[in-house]
Amino acid sequence: MRKLAAAKREHSATFKCFGAAILALAPLGFASAQTVVPSNARTYCAVSPSTFASWFVDGKPSLNGAINPADGIRFPLQNSDCDFYHWGEQMFLWLTSPASGNSGSNGLVFTSPIFYNVSGEDATRHRTYSRNTPEAPLPLLKVRNAQTGPHDLQLVMDKEGHLFEVLPALQALDGNSLMRNAAGKMVEVNRIEAKPGERPAFFDTANKQIVQPKAPALDTTLALRVAPELVTVTPEQTKNFVQAFEAHGKVVFVDSNGNTIDPTQGQAGRLSGVLLARNESLVYYATMVNDVYAFFQTGSLNGTFGDRGPEEKNYFFPTTQQELDPVIRYAATKGSSLPDRVAMAVELKTSWIDIAGLPALGLNPSDFITVTTTVPDYDRSNPLLWIPTGRSNKVTLAMVGMHVVGSVAGHPEMIWATFEHTNNTPRSSYTYTNDQGQISTVPQGRAGTWAFASPNATNYNVQKASYADSPNITATKDQTISPSDTMLLKAWGTASDDTDSAFKNTEVISADSSVLTQIAKGDVRANYIMTGATWTTNGKAVRRDNQVGTNRLNNTTMETYDQGVDSQRNGANCFSCHTNKQKEGEPANTDVSHIFSALIPLFTK
């Protein structure tokens, strides 16, 4: 498989941020936001007026007012779920505040020079930093929409909701897969016959069936080049992998027993999904970290904080003042005061669409946080294959999603919160506790003005395009490169068959509702809502049984095709991919961040 290895209330805006956002009052004629946050939820996690006011730099709420970052150092050690949700709400408002003071005077906080963009992987699987400037916010945009697993390999999900990491197969020059026959020789696969749950038949270029070993094993030959740690995978762990074989565009996934798995709709073709909005804009992605993350990562990997030796690379994100102090001292030697130091280490992923064509859909570009930047141009004449022209287009992009991830006291695994624009997609049915103590049910959303779903859609989350043949964009099997109707299957990050679903939903809803009630009318940030947050018990290394909060969390613009098949407990979540290679009970280390070890440090010393 070619390069297979290589997710309310109506408000509008009134402020301008040079180089980042140009926002204006919404004119008449545009549809109101479609996702309505229930206003009658029990106030389990409501943000009090005094707390909300304290978030503002001036100590009182104001239109588009500057917000302080949440203080990760003083995060309560004796905490409740609400503390985590309040952290997420404050961090989002801070990140999307107008930059001021030490963070600069142009743009928004997260497009200011205290944040660094992170590139995609190069041929050696390394990434680089690029500091934001007012002239070039978000210069490193990507179009790939796909979660990766603990070994940074692609994920695929079967129709029972089981997740597997995908081992790529070796390839012949024509792109068909190679596989070992019973004699151990590599043979080109020219044709595949496969049925779910059965052992597939592979045929060579002479149309003769390839005789496989009696006990087929997953071939890690190629995967070991891109994920050397796979050499330590145990036989039991191989159950979490499948191997992808391709012949003339047909792809099958074979498990460790040698049987074909039945992938969810949208994953039956190539992986590495590419998402398009209804205005036919590609969705672009940017990964960013703050200065605390950048200097901590740099000092750790270049030995400034002590050489741990080649066998021990067990780093931990700072969660206390004592752990932060060496980072502060190191940054000072490089001319940085870390003005956002109380935020601790922060990692972001954002998603964007071109504003062109939004008014024709009934969507007002002024209802979105926007940036002006450049994106790659594609020859779109072939609906099955888009090829880069080598040119770039200057466009204005609207933000449709944001993952906010950050370390706080007691939680080196970081808090993982996600936000979406209220006009993104409809949601699955969900329940919550109302202010009378009764369970209310909200039916599945359908009709409406959505950026990622047509008003009368009935078939959701079908992948139509792929980046597996990067830099080209290819159509998935039986599809054309076109917008995909999308739905958020776990409305507030909780599975519908969770016995505490209504309670967990109510916690998030009440936090959102209280913020929306208090934020100034006309503040563009009110068009975005938190759909949940997750963390681990006592900050321990990630395990399946210690994930707390709304731990079925996905973002429709970033994990579009990893949500599972329905609103129940299937599908990926943050910690399905961001895990720790540690013993049970140990604190979580920096393995939760896929980019940490891949980033080339800012400085050699």
**The domain boundary residue, chosen from 232, 263, 294:** 263
The number of folded domains in the chain is 2
Q: What is the pLDDT of residue 25?
A: 30
pLDDT, one tens digit per residue, over 378-392 is 999 999 999 988 888
Whether residues 183 and 254 fall in one domain: yes
Q: For 116-130, what is the mean pLDDT?
A: 85
Whether residues 302 and 428 fall in one domain: yes
Q: What is the pLDDT of residue 159?
A: 64
Whether residues 226 and 294 fall in one domain: no
The amino acid present at 363, given as its one-letter code, is L
**The domain boundary residue, chosen from 263, 288, 315:** 263
Q: Which domain holds residue 182?
A: 162-263
Q: Is residue 3 part of a domain?
A: no
Confidence (pTM): 0.81
Whether residues 388 and 367 fall in one domain: yes
pLDDT, one tens digit per residue, over 445-472 is 887 889 999 988 888 998 899 887 778 8
Identify the weakest region by mean pLDDT among 8-17, 480-489, 551-560: 8-17
Q: Is residue 290 part of a domain?
A: yes
Helix (H, G, I), strand (E, B) or coil at 80: coil
Q: Is residue 580 part of a domain?
A: yes
Q: Is residue 532 part of a domain?
A: yes
Helix (H, G, I), strand (E, B) or coil at 401: strand
Q: Is residue 600 part of a domain?
A: no
pLDDT, one tens digit per residue, over 77-107 is 988 999 999 999 999 999 999 987 766 667 8
- pLDDT category at 148 given cuts 50, 70, 90 is low
**The domain boundary residue, chosen from 228, 263, 298:** 263
Whether residues 314 and 452 fall in one domain: yes
Whether residues 430 and 325 fall in one domain: yes
Q: Is residue 599 part of a domain?
A: no
Residue 464 to residue 269: CA distance in whole angstroms: 9
Alpha helices in 343-485 (DSSP H): none
- pLDDT category at 269 given cuts 50, 70, 90 is very low
pLDDT, one tens digit per residue, over 337-381 is 999 999 999 999 999 999 999 999 999 999 999 999 888 889 999
Q: Which two tokens stand for residue 431?
A: 């329940």
Residue 420 to residue 369: CA distance in whole angstroms: 12
pLDDT, one tens digit per residue, over 489-521 is 999 999 898 899 999 999 999 999 999 999 999
Whether residues 256 and 315 fall in one domain: no
Q: Is residue 251 part of a domain?
A: yes
Q: Is residue 198 part of a domain?
A: yes
Question: What's the mean pLDDT when you consider all of the chain?
Answer: 85
Whether residues 112 and 258 fall in one domain: no
Residue 439 to residue 437: CA distance in whole angstroms: 7
Whether residues 533 and 562 fall in one domain: yes
Q: For 252-269, what is the mean pLDDT?
A: 69
Q: Per-residue pLDDT for 316 more than 90?
A: yes
Asked if residues 234 and 256 have their Cβ atoms less than 8 Å apart, the reply is no
φ and ψ of 416, to 5 deg: -115, 110
pLDDT, one tens digit per residue, over 544-581 is 889 999 988 999 999 888 787 788 877 777 887 788 87
